[in-house]
A and B are shown apart, each in its own frame.
Chain A
Amino acid sequence: MALRLFNWIMAAVMLSPILLIIWMSFTPGAMFRIPLEAFSLRWYREVFAYPGFVNAFFLSLRLAAAAAGAAVALSFVAAYALARTRLRGRAALDALFTAPLIVPAVVFGIAMLQFSNRLGLYNTFFALVVAHVAIVTPYAMRSIAAALRAVPIEMEWAAMNLGARRGTVLLRIVLPLCARGMVAAFLLCFLMSFSEVTVTIFMTGPGYQTLPVRIYNYLTDQVDPTVAALSAMLIGLSLLLALIVAGLGGFKEISK
């Protein structure tokens, strides 16, 4: 009984800042007040009226789509090769592909700041995509490897035995068979990239910011309910994506 009560208190604490933001985003005034009588969509309109947020949103969208797409495509062929061959440097490759889970994001952010500057790529879309691909690769590799494990090798033998070459087997048999896993991997990577702050903040100057970085900078500057409205929308987007990923079974591998 005590356990149950404790669990509900903890659950409430977990959700409280999230719910509070959503609630406050409907406040009519310029002060943060929990709206009890009057609800207003005023701050939602403000979000769209502020070009800084809108531009940042589209940058984040493009970045997350590009990074997730590239990571999933690269991870698919890499995971397939790792699953179907006995490579010599396998342990080293595994370490390389999972390193972003272990190396603190700040460390990579600093490294990327210095590196992209050196190559003249500071504050460019290309550098951001490369960094984000690296950050989301561990997630992509894990969920795609799990999806590939579910494809019996006999299925591939059967296709080859019927005359299909390796490329055809990959495209017409393996890919469709792990399509769910691939979609889940893409959405997960998208989510990770879309909410990435730490590395990105080191890599972007004032004029070129992703949405989370823009919010961060906005918060250090001023605080008004616009951020609450924007945050509420982001929460909704995240939860929507998360529910789709969960529906596709994409979190099973991450929890291991």
Chain B
Amino acid sequence: MSLARLGIARAAPARRAGRNGAGRSLAWLVAPLALVMLGGYLAPLAQSLFGSLHPNTPAGIDTARWTAANYARLADPYYAGVFLRTLRVSLVISLVTAVLAYPVALYISRLRPRAQAVMLLVYMAPWLVNVVVKAFGWSLLLRSNGVLNEVLLRLGLIDAPLHIMFTELAIIIGLVHGHFMFVLLPLWVALSGLDPNLRWAAGNLGARPAQIFWRVTLPLTLPALLAGAIINFTMNMAAFATPAILGGSRVRVVSYVAYEVNLVELNWPFGGALAVALLGITLILIALAQRLARAGGRAATAEAA
């Protein structure tokens, strides 16, 4: 019998041991943050879910009775209409952003590294500026006596001021601007990670630039585009300050109605149901997006191969 076998035989009842000192003793360091997040994040969400399953009474939530009525009320044409509008507006914003961000990302990814950093900072600037401030800036531009109308009138391009404020268009403009970065950045990462040899190889095989774009570049970056667009979409769905300032009560979106229900009507069970519904839609979309992005990734690699 070899010594090695002996050694292993002797070790048969061995206890499990990891890195010394780095075992269980360190794990408790996660606890403080985990507790804060459980108590300060998860618990409130759970509590709202719980509350949404009970009826609202003038005295507050009646936790003795259970009901699905708050969710049934979401099907009311008014609230269903708000949800549909929010979905529609969010989708339009994502599509517009995707179409606008792609050429920008393509351009930036071909710059020298230093110029890339500067350009990215320009596009990141709106994200760094307070939402309320951004929306205020757009309101200065878009209102009837705002800068845009003034310029267009003086140039003689229009006869009467355009009414953009407090329309869906104002929300779309404000959020395309506000959430641009979330589509641009993943696209830029994907495009700059693209092997330039692929394009040269395609060119070498006789593909014209347009063909290269449609058959090589776009398929390979489609997963990133999709991923960015979905993130963008969920953010549009949840946006509050921008649609509230640029759309106001004339173009109510879900978050605005949720604000009214919770802080004006003080109907928390129903307000909770609105929140849960919004969360549910968001999570379903993210799950869907991940599947699409994976499928897209597979298709892209299959096509490239």
Contact = CB atoms under 8 A, between A and B. Distances in A.
Q: Are A and B in contact, CB atoms below 8 Å, in the complex?
A: yes
Contacts of B30: 77-78, 81-82, 87, 93
Nearest to B117: A246
Given A14-B123, A134-B40, A246-B121, A102 B136 contact: no
Interface in B11-34: 18, 21-30, 32-34
Interface centre among B24, B133, B274, B279 (most CB of A within 10 A): B133
B140 to A, nearest CB: 6
A104 B279 contact: yes
Contact of A18 (B21, B25, B134, B272): B134
B194 interface: no
A137 interface: yes
A115 interface: yes
Given A16-B141, A106-B255, A113-B263, A6 B26 contact: no
Chief secondary structure at chain A's binding surface: helix
Chief secondary structure at chain B's binding surface: helix
Interface in B120-149: 120-126, 128-134, 136-141, 145-147
Interface string B28-52: 1110111011111111110110010
Contact of A14 (B47, B180, B272): B180
B132 A219 contact: yes
Given A93-B30, A198-B255, A106 B133 contact: no
A108 B44 contact: yes
A57 interface: no
Contacts of A34: 147
B32 to A, nearest CB: 5
Contact of B137 (A18, A70, A238): A18
Interface residues of A, number: 82
Contact of A110 (B106, B188, B272): B272
Interface stretch (B156-164, B200-208, B233-241): B233-241
Contacts of B125: 14-15, 18, 239, 242
Contacts of B21: 160, 166
B255 A81 contact: no
B177 interface: yes
Interface in A91-106: 93, 96-97, 99-100, 102-106
A169 to B, nearest CB: 10
A74 interface: yes
B126 A74 contact: no
Interface stretch (A41-49, A176-184, A227-235): A227-235
A14 B286 contact: no
B71 interface: no
A131 interface: yes
B141 A20 contact: yes
A198 B235 CA distance: 12
Contacts of B68: none
Contacts, number: 257
Contact of A231 (B51, B133, B188): B133
A252 to B, nearest CB: 10
A196 to B, nearest CB: 9
B48 A115 contact: yes
B132 A108 contact: no
B1 to A, nearest CB: 34
Given A110-B275, A215-B132, A14 B107 contact: no
Contacts of A143: none
Interface string A134-158: 1001000000000000000000000
Interface of A: 3-4, 6-7, 10-11, 13-18, 20-21, 24, 32, 34, 70, 74-75, 77-78, 80-82, 84-87, 93, 96-97, 99-100, 102-116, 118, 130-131, 133-134, 137, 160, 166, 191, 194-195, 197-198, 201-202, 212, 215-216, 219-220, 223, 227-228, 231, 234-235, 238-239, 242, 246, 251, 255-256
6 contacts: A21-B140, A99-B42, A131-B40, A134-B40, A216-B244, A242-B128
